[in-house]
Amino acid sequence: MVRVTIEWFEHLIEKYGKDYPRRTEIKSFDTIIAAKVVDANEKLYIDRQGGFIGTGLKKAEFVQNCSDLDDVIIFYKNGKYKVIKIADKIFVGKGVLHLQVFKKNDKRTIYNVIYRDGTEGYYYIKRFNVTSVTKDRDYDLTRGTKGSKVVYFTANPNGEAETVKITLDVDPDKKRQNIFLERSFSDIMIKGRAANGNLLTKKSIHRISLKNHGHSTLGGRKVWFDPDVNRINYEEHGRFLGEFNDHDSILVILPGGEYYQSTFDAANHYEDNIERIEKFEADKVWTAVVYDADNQGYPYLKRFLMEPSKRHQNFASENPNSRLVLLTDETYPLIRLTYGGVDASRGTEDIDAEQFVGVKGFKAKGKRLTTWHVEKIEELEPTRRPEPTDTTGNESENDNKARETERKENLDPDAGKSQQQVIDEITGQLRLFDDESK
C-alpha cells in the first residue's frame, strides 16, 4: 500500500502539479514565545485618582501600547514596587509614581532614583534594573525605613544617565552657604534592586531638577531581524542588523522605491514584502535606476541620500507607473546597459554612476541614461573601491560631538540666576537693592 500510495501521489503531481502551484512556504522554525510576537493592540491606562489601571479605562490617562499577555511593573512614591498581570481593570492603589510594560530579563532598562530614608533621614541615590520578580509580591527600592519617600525617579530603556541639580533647603542660621549640588547618574554604578545606593546628602533637599539629558552608559544594543516572524529581537535570531545607540534607527525599503524609518523596539512588526532592512545611515549614498513614466519611460539614473522620515516616502517616483529596476549602496557602482531590439547592434555600455551624475535629493529625477532601446540593465562588480579610513578619529569626533551636545543642553531652571537670588526666592525675601530699583 505504501508503494501504491507514493506512485499515485507522484502521478497526481505530474499530471496536475503545473496547474496548482504550491501556496505555502517552507521556513525554518524556532521556539516562539507568544508574548514576544503578539501584536500590541491594546492600550494601557491609569486612573490615578481612583487607583485603577487597565486596558478598559478608555477615559483615563494613556500610558503605552501593550498586549493582553503582558505584565506591568508599578512603582509607588513610598518606594514599593511590584509586577502584576495586565487586566481590563484592576485596583492598584494610589500614589503610583511610574508604571510600564515589564520585560523579563531586561538588563537594559535602568531606573535612576533618589530617595529619602525615613521622614527625616539622609538622601540616597541609586541605579538598578529589575530582571525577574515574583508576580503580585511587594518589593522595596529604599532601605525599608518607615516614612521613606522617592523624590526623583526616571526609567531609562537604554541605560541613559542624566545630570540633576539638587537645591538644598536654606539654613537661616548660616549667612554663607552653598545650596547647590550637581550629580550625574553616570557616576553611579548599576547594582541590584536590593542595593541601598550611595549617600547623596545629609541635608534637607528643597527640590531636584533635570539639568541635562544623559546618554546611554551601556553601549549600543545589538539588534537582529527575524524574517520568519517579521520582527526584530535582541536574542540573536535571524540576521544581525548592527549595534544601535540612543538616536539610531532602522531603515526599511519596500518594493517600488518606498521607504521609511522605525525605532529598534522589539514590539515593532514589519511588512512581509521587505526588500531591505538595515541600520539607517544618514550619509550613505544610494544609486537607483528608474524607468520614468513621466518621461516616456526612459531609464534615469539618480544618486541620493535617504532623508530621515518615519512616514512612508518614495525615492523612485510619485508616478505609480514608473518602475524601479536597480538599487545599490555601492560607493562606486558600475552599471551595464545591454541594448536590444532595433538597437541591438550597439551591444553593451558600461557607466560609472559616480562620475555620471551627482548626489541630489531623493525626489530628484536624476539623469537620463539613454534614448535607445534597452534590453537589460544590471550592476557589475565595481572596478574601484573606497580607501579604508581610520575609524579611531571618527569615534573620537563623535564622542566630542556628544559631549558638546550635552554641554549645550542645559535645562537648569535657575540658569542665569545667582545663588543669592535663588535663596531669596526660597525664603520669600527681597534684596534691598531690588526695592531701591523699584
3-state class (DSSP) for residue 69: coil
Q: Hey, what's the cell of 58?
A: 478608555
Whether 248 maps to a domain, the answer reads no
Range of the domain at 179: 103-219+389-438
Q: What percent of the chain has pLDDT over 90?
A: 60
Averaged pLDDT, 58-87: 93
pLDDT band with cut points at 50, 70 and 90 for residue 437: very low
Whether 47 maps to a domain, the answer reads yes
Domain end position, chosen among 330, 347, 380: 380
Whether 228 maps to a domain, the answer reads no
Q: Name the residue among 306, 255, 301 with its Cα closest to residue 276.
A: 255
Averaged pLDDT, 182-196: 92
Q: Name the residue among 79, 83, 107 with its Cα closest to residue 95.
A: 79
Domain end position, chosen among 380, 408, 426: 380
The answer on 411 and 361 residing in a single domain is no
pLDDT at 19: 85
Whether 315 maps to a domain, the answer reads yes
Lowest mean per-residue pLDDT among 136-150, 253-267, 310-324, 381-395: 381-395
Q: Which helix (H) or strand (E) holds 102?
A: strand 96-102
pLDDT band with cut points at 50, 70 and 90 for residue 393: low
The answer on 215 and 107 residing in a single domain is yes
The answer on 98 and 121 residing in a single domain is no
Q: Report how far residue 289's alpha carbon sits from residue 305's, in angstroms, rounded to the nearest whole number.
A: 14
Averaged pLDDT, 176-182: 83
Q: Which residue has the higher pLDDT, 37 or 234?
A: 234
Check pLDDT > 70 for residue 164: yes
pLDDT band with cut points at 50, 70 and 90 for residue 144: very high
C-alpha atoms less than 13 angstroms from C-alpha of 272 in its C-beta half-sphere = 1
The answer on 403 and 364 residing in a single domain is no
Q: How many domains does the chain have?
A: 3
In the chain, what are the helix, strand and coil shares in percent, each to the nearest 5? 15, 35, 45
3-state class (DSSP) for residue 319: coil
The answer on 116 and 92 residing in a single domain is no
Check pLDDT > 60 for residue 101: yes
Check pLDDT > 80 for residue 131: yes
Q: Which helix (H) or strand (E) holds 405?
A: helix 391-408
Q: Report how far residue 151's alpha carbon sits from residue 133's, in angstroms, rounded to the nearest whole number.
A: 24
Q: How far is CA 421 from CA 133, 207, 418, 434, in A?
A: 47, 15, 5, 11
- Mean pLDDT across the chain: 86
pLDDT band with cut points at 50, 70 and 90 for residue 217: confident
> Cβ(339)–Cβ(347) under 8 Å?
yes
pTM above 0.75? no
The answer on 85 and 137 residing in a single domain is no
pLDDT at 58: 86
> Cβ(90)–Cβ(52) under 8 Å?
yes
Q: How far is CA 80 from CA 23, 54, 93, 138, 316, in A?
A: 54, 20, 12, 6, 55
pLDDT at 433: 47
Strand partners, 140: 80
Q: Hey, what's the cell of 132?
A: 525577574
Check pLDDT > 60 for residue 187: yes
Check pLDDT > 60 for residue 397: no
The answer on 191 and 156 residing in a single domain is yes
Q: How far is CA 419 from CA 168, 178, 413, in A?
A: 11, 8, 12
Lowest mean per-residue pLDDT among 21-25, 83-87, 135-139: 21-25
Q: How far is CA 215 from CA 162, 245, 402, in A?
A: 7, 9, 8
Q: Report how far residue 371's alpha carbon sits from residue 345's, in angstroms, rounded to the nearest whole number.
A: 15
pLDDT band with cut points at 50, 70 and 90 for residue 415: confident
Per-residue model confidence as pLDDT tens digits over 425-434: 777 765 544 4
The answer on 414 and 343 residing in a single domain is no
pLDDT band with cut points at 50, 70 and 90 for residue 100: very high
pLDDT at 278: 96
Averaged pLDDT, 298-327: 92
The answer on 200 and 115 residing in a single domain is yes
Whether 264 maps to a domain, the answer reads no
> Cβ(155)–Cβ(100) under 8 Å?
yes
Check pLDDT > 90 for residue 42: no
Sheet with 61-66, strands from edge to edge, namely: 61-66, 42-47, 52-54, 90-91
The answer on 319 and 393 residing in a single domain is no
Residues in the chain: 438
The answer on 214 and 113 residing in a single domain is yes
Lowest mean per-residue pLDDT among 28-32, 223-227, 234-238, 338-342: 28-32
Give the number of other CB atoms < 10 A from CB of residue 289: 26
> Cβ(30)–Cβ(228) under 8 Å?
yes
Q: Which residues contact 59 (CB under 8 A, 6 or more apart)?
A: none
> Cβ(262)–Cβ(268) under 8 Å?
yes
pLDDT at 114: 97
Whether 347 maps to a domain, the answer reads yes
Whether 424 maps to a domain, the answer reads yes
pLDDT at 436: 43
pLDDT band with cut points at 50, 70 and 90 for residue 213: confident
Q: Are strands 80-85 and 190-191 parallel, antiparallel or unpaired?
A: unpaired
Whether 266 maps to a domain, the answer reads no
> Cβ(55)–Cβ(88) under 8 Å?
yes
Q: Report how far residue 73's alpha carbon sits from residue 383's, in angstroms, rounded to the nearest whole number.
A: 57
pLDDT at 13: 86
Check pLDDT > 70 for residue 399: no
Domain end position, chosen among 74, 102, 130: 102
Amino acid at 86: I
pLDDT at 184: 93
pLDDT at 18: 84
Check pLDDT > 80 for residue 423: no
Q: Report how far residue 351's alpha carbon sits from residue 357's, in angstroms, rounded to the nearest whole number.
A: 10
The answer on 96 and 109 residing in a single domain is no
pLDDT at 20: 83
Q: Report how far residue 343's alpha carbon sits from residue 269's, in angstroms, rounded to the nearest whole number.
A: 47
